[in-house]
Amino acid sequence: MEYDSVSRGARAMFFMLTPNESSFEKVEDVPQYVQQATPFFVGLMTLELVVGFLKTGAPVITISDGITSLSAGMVSRLPLLLMRGCELSAYMHVWNHYRLVELPWDSAWTWWFTFLGVDFGYYWVHRFAHEVAVLWAAHQVHHSSEYYNLTTALRQSVTQPFTSWVFYLPMALAVPPSIFAVHIQLNLLYQFWIHTELIRDLGPLEWILNTPKHHRVHHGRNLYCIDKNYGGILIIWDRLFGTFAQEANQVVYGLVFPIKRFEILYVQLHYYLYLWKKSKTYKTISNKLSTFLNGPSWKPGKRRLGDHNDNPKVTGKEVPHNPSWSLPVQIYAVIHFLLVLKTYHDLFENKMILSQLTILGMTGYVLLTLTSLGFLIDQRPSSAVLELFRCVVMMTLLRYNYMKPLAPSLAVPTESTEGADGKV
């Protein structure tokens, strides 16, 4: 049974599950494929790190960028501690109240129809996220890394799920929520492994599937890369709707205007502030609204999607932002990131038995830690004060058993304090 579980988990990463083993009657029976994929994420990232070093002689992941990408992934899932995902909640509401027909949940035809429906819906979710500025404000998080590796796949937005659910609602008129819940996860998992430079070409599969080669183009800020290759699993949607581009010149990754910051709340939210400030420079209500509803590069007098005349010229010689910081601080940041990652994992594992107040408090601590680590990486003047405060909070949580140390020996200081308090 353990081998079967590992096999299913590995195959789920590459959309290789069969309809028979991934069709369920009730939503409650659908496995948490994404949550269970953590060991495979870690394993594949480690493999990429080793193979990349052997091939290039240099690490494909930097500590500063890797921590930021993983932090964004953690932040993006924190709302799930307090509520069911927006996509599934909205879908179930439409299904329960407005469905027109009920396709059989145990039919292979339903399974494959849902696969196509979810992937088609994702294409339009993704395309609108690039063509509507307020949606881009969420999606830009995923594009903010100037590197392209498997950690980049986990650099997700905390706000994007609050709008993406709209695009899947037509399926709720006929497709059971349990089958949708399977495919919305499998579609996301498939897109993990395509975030790598180590796989160059997959031959005939390039005509049908979204591959590392195609998705590298999507992450480029070269002029020929911008707003191309939106597909999730299938690249055929881009070929059909005129948004396909073949990989050509050396791809330079990241945002057109790189943010050069690692503080996680800034990475997640800065573009909303930019849009607000931009809208305030216009006098008419029409232009103010167009700032949010037109393309990110729109300005008065330009077409809806704007143009790229103001983009910095890409030469291919750009060097990703990688601040210099001391080795001891890097080691410190990695250790405390692993500590908060353990806390984050325990929080999801035990969320059903924890009080809402405890979950809120621990969520706040996770955000505080990731913010403080970002301050350290950015070398902000206030980073030392914020980190000292965070350490006090961490010791307090350990003292009252809200957190578990990675090793029993780490609990000695707090246990000693508790003993001293008992003697007073």
CA-to-CA dists, residue 372 to 27, 244, 248, 405, angstroms = 38, 40, 40, 19
pLDDT of the residue at 404: 77
Q: What percent of the chain has pLDDT over 90?
A: 86
> Could you list the pLDDT tens digit for every one of the 424 residues in the chain?
477 889 999 999 999 999 999 999 999 999 999 989 999 999 999 999 999 999 999 899 999 999 999 999 999 999 988 877 788 999 999 999 999 999 999 999 999 999 999 999 999 999 999 999 999 999 999 999 999 999 999 999 999 999 999 999 999 999 999 999 999 999 999 999 999 999 999 999 999 999 999 999 999 999 999 999 999 999 999 999 999 999 998 999 999 999 999 999 999 999 999 999 999 999 999 999 999 999 999 999 899 999 888 889 999 889 999 999 999 999 999 999 999 999 999 999 999 899 999 999 999 999 999 999 999 999 999 999 999 999 999 999 999 888 877 655 444 444 444 444 444 3
- Cβ-Cβ contacts under 8 Å for 118 (sequence gap 6 or more): 168, 171, 180, 183, 184, 187, 232
Instruction: Give pLDDT tens digits for 220-256.
Output: 999 999 999 999 999 999 999 999 999 998 999 999 9
Instruction: Give pLDDT tens digits for 119-128.
Output: 999 999 999 9
Whole-number Å distance between alpha carbons of 152 and 416: 41
Whose CA is closest to 234, among 207, 218, 210, 212? 210
